[in-house]
Chain A
Amino acid sequence: MVFLDLALNALASGIALGCIYALVALGLAITFGLLHIPNVAHPALVIAGAYAVVLANMRGIDPILAALVLTLPFYAVGLAFYEFYARAFERRGRGNTLQSLTLFFGVSLIVEIALVVAFGTDLRSVSVPYVGRSFELGLIVLPYRFLVPALLAPAVILGLWLYMTRTHSGLAMRAVAHDERALSISGHDPVAIKRHAFGLATALAVLAGAALVIVGPVDPFAGRVHLGRVFAVVVLAGLGSIPGTLAAAIIIGVAEAFVTAFLSPSWAPGVAFAILLGTLALRPNGIFGTAR
Chain B
Amino acid sequence: MSWRNFLLVALLVAAAGMVLPRVLENPYYFFAGYVVLQYVVIATGWNILGGYAGYTNFGTSAFFGAGVYTAAFLIKAFEAPLLVQVLAAAGIGMLLGLVTGYLTLRIQGVYFAIATVALVVVLETVVHNSDYLGGASGLTTIAPPAPAWFAGPTQYVFCVMLVLALVAVGIARAIEHSWVGRSLRAIRASEPAAEACGVPTLRMKLAACAISGGVIAMAGAPYPYYASHVDPLSAFSLTIGLNALAMPLIGGTRSWIGPVLGAVLLASVQQITTVTISSEFNILAVGLMLIAFVVLAPEGILGLVAELRERVGRRRATT
Contacts and interface: CB of A to CB of B under 8 A. Distances in A.
B118 interface: yes
A276 interface: yes
B118 A273 contact: yes
B280 interface: yes
Contacts of B129: 264, 266-267
B288 A101 contact: no
B136 A110 contact: no
Contacts of A106: 286-291, 294
Interface stretch (B86-94, B144-152, B242-250): B242-250
A88 B295 contact: yes
Nearest to A263: B129
A32 interface: yes
Interface residues of A, number: 42
Band of interface residues on B: 35 or more
Contact of A98 (B115, B125, B245): B245
A158 interface: no
A109 B110 CA distance: 19
Nearest to A103: B294
A53 interface: no
A235 to B, nearest CB: 6
Contacts of A224: 238
A280 to B, nearest CB: 5
B117 A231 contact: yes
Contacts of A102: 245-246, 249, 290, 293-294
A109 B115 contact: no
Interface in A263-288: 264, 266-267, 269-270, 272-274, 276-277, 280-281, 284
Interface of B: 50, 54, 56, 58, 103-104, 106-107, 109-111, 113-115, 117-122, 124-126, 128-129, 135-136, 238, 242, 245-246, 249, 253, 280-281, 283-284, 286-291, 293-295, 298
Interface in A18-46: 32, 36, 38
A227 B126 CA distance: 19
A31 B168 CA distance: 38
Contacts, number: 130
A156 to B, nearest CB: 24
14 contacts: A101-B58, A102-B290, A103-B294, A105-B242, A105-B290, A109-B284, A113-B283, A113-B287, A227-B117, A266-B135, A269-B121, A273-B118, A274-B118, A280-B118
A95 B56 CA distance: 13
A116 B294 CA distance: 24
A117 B249 contact: no
Contacts of A95: 294, 298
Contact of B106 (A97, A101, A277, A284): A284
Interface in A208-249: 224, 227-228, 231-232, 235
A113 B295 CA distance: 20
A276 B287 contact: no
A269 B249 CA distance: 30
B118 A266 contact: no
Contacts of B109: 97
A38 B126 contact: no
Contacts of B56: 97-98, 101
B249 A276 contact: no
A251 B298 CA distance: 39
Contacts of B122: 270, 273-274, 277
Contacts of B117: 227-228, 231, 273
Nearest to B296: A88
Contact of A109 (B54, B58, B287): B287
A106 B242 CA distance: 9
B115 A276 contact: yes
A140 interface: no
A287 to B, nearest CB: 15
Contacts of A269: 121, 124-125
A266 B136 contact: yes
B110 A277 contact: no
Q: Considering the complex of A and B, which 8 residue pairs feature the smallest CB-CB distances, nearest first?
A: A270-B125, A109-B287, A106-B290, A273-B118, A106-B291, A110-B287, A273-B121, A113-B284
Interface in A50-99: 88, 95-99
Contacts of B50: 98
Given A117-B280, A276-B114, 18 more contacts: A97-B109, A101-B56, A102-B290, A105-B245, A105-B287, A106-B287, A106-B290, A106-B294, A109-B284, A110-B287, A113-B284, A228-B120, A270-B121, A272-B121, A276-B115, A280-B111, A280-B118, A284-B107
